Amino acid sequence: MPLVPPYIESLEPYRPGKPIAELQKELGLTSVVKLASNENPLGPSPFAREALCRHVAELHRYPNGGLDLRELLASKFNVKVGNVIAGSGSEGIMSSIIRTFLCDDDEVLTSEGTFVGFYVLARSRGIRLVQVPLRDYRFDLEAVARAITERTKIIYLANPNNPTGTIFTTREFDAFMKSVSSRVLIILDEAYFEYARENPRYPDSMQYRYDNVITLRTFSKIYGLAGIRIGYGFAHDLLISNLLKVKLPFEPSTLAQAAGIAALEDSEFLHRSLMVNAAGRRQLTAALEELGLHPVPSDANFLMVPCESEGVALCIYEALLHHGVIIRPLRAFGLPHCLRITIGTREQNLVLINAMRAVLETLTART
């Protein structure tokens, strides 16, 4: 018996967007703009910053497993505490889901071109991961439904989807749910739901309550708290009670929970973040189109740009690094010819646009 199971040995670890400090060191740059990890360009919610200072004095005590945040979310969303879980980011909860519900012969079903973190987690369990193709860069829910087998245990859906920024509509989701047996668990990853909820075609999963759906949300995106690791989920109490048996007992940390609770009350920050994002999305879309690119219409805080080939995408990515701009190439997401650009502040977007213009001019001059 090998020490390391073959499915771990062959696993490609999750590679996050290139850190600013790494690029500065590599290329000796002083000024770097990172638009690679869908972070909030305004920084953390000010309420959360203040809460962090207040809770430092409690750090000798163990955390309470997210109970305070669960209670607050339960009252906000009018559900029971037993329907809510909090964890170390939504990925922390996803990891608990993988450990709680899967047996060796089960299959996990999702799409190509969705969140790479989920692929890595599913593969780390050594089960079969089935991926159906996207259709026009959108989840093809009909194809997902057709791919269900007797062994399908979990279906992962991201809405809005990362990295495409696209949504599936209420109509598509309703039809999908009618065709899925209640013995299949659906993970509905709504990491970017705040950016999409004003879209009348967007199915906010909290307006439904299916017993086999787990909704996942996060403080990492619009609340600007990616670094502290706090996320939450809603589901039937039977699912939550089993998840709580498996979740690490002291996840989330005291500071993560305090930051999340404070951020939830920071409606001014939420509003400002939405406004900056909407303006930035318009600014970037128009500028990229003017440069001859075709960003996919997005309901999130990033834009995906398909290129002619993987070679061209990588060339643009590398050249932008030399201009001090980090974006994300998407091979690991199954979209090697695409690039993903996080929407920044107006000034950051301008840096990206000017750098992109210079890079494309050099590329055209070369060919």
Residue numbers of the site for ligand PLP (CB under 6 A)? 38, 89-91, 115, 117, 158, 162, 189, 191, 218, 220, 226, 231
How far is the C-alpha of 214 from the C-alpha of 95, rounded, in Å? 13
For the CB of residue 12, give the shortest distance to ligand PLP in the complex, in Å. 17
For the CB of residue 163, give the shortest distance to ligand PLP in the complex, in Å. 8
Q: Tell me: cis bond preceding 63? Omega within 30 of 0 counts.
A: no
Residue closer to ligand PLP by CB (options 38, 273) is 38
3-class secondary structure, 122: helix
Residue closer to ligand PLP by CB (options 191, 339) is 191
For the CB of residue 142, give the shortest distance to ligand PLP in the complex, in Å. 21
Structural contact between residues 366 and 334, judged by C-beta atoms closer than 8 angstroms = no
Ordered DSSP codes for 270-329: HHHHHHHHHHHHHHHHHHHHHTT--PBP-SSSEEEEE-S-HHHHHHHHHHHHHTTEE-EE
Give the angle subtended at the CA of 283 by the CAs of 281 and 284, to the nearest 5°: 65
For the CB of residue 41, give the shortest distance to ligand PLP in the complex, in Å. 15
Who's near 324: CB < 8 A, 6+ residues apart? 23, 27, 29, 31, 32, 33, 351, 355
Residue closer to ligand PLP by CB (options 260, 280) is 260
Q: Which residue is nearest to ligand PLP (CB)?
A: 89
For the CB of residue 110, give the shortest distance to ligand PLP in the complex, in Å. 11
Q: Tell me: cis bond preceding 336? Omega within 30 of 0 counts.
A: no
Residue closer to ligand PLP by CB (options 176, 333) is 333
Residue closer to ligand PLP by CB (options 232, 359) is 232
Residue closer to ligand PLP by CB (options 115, 176) is 115
For the CB of residue 117, give the shortest distance to ligand PLP in the complex, in Å. 6
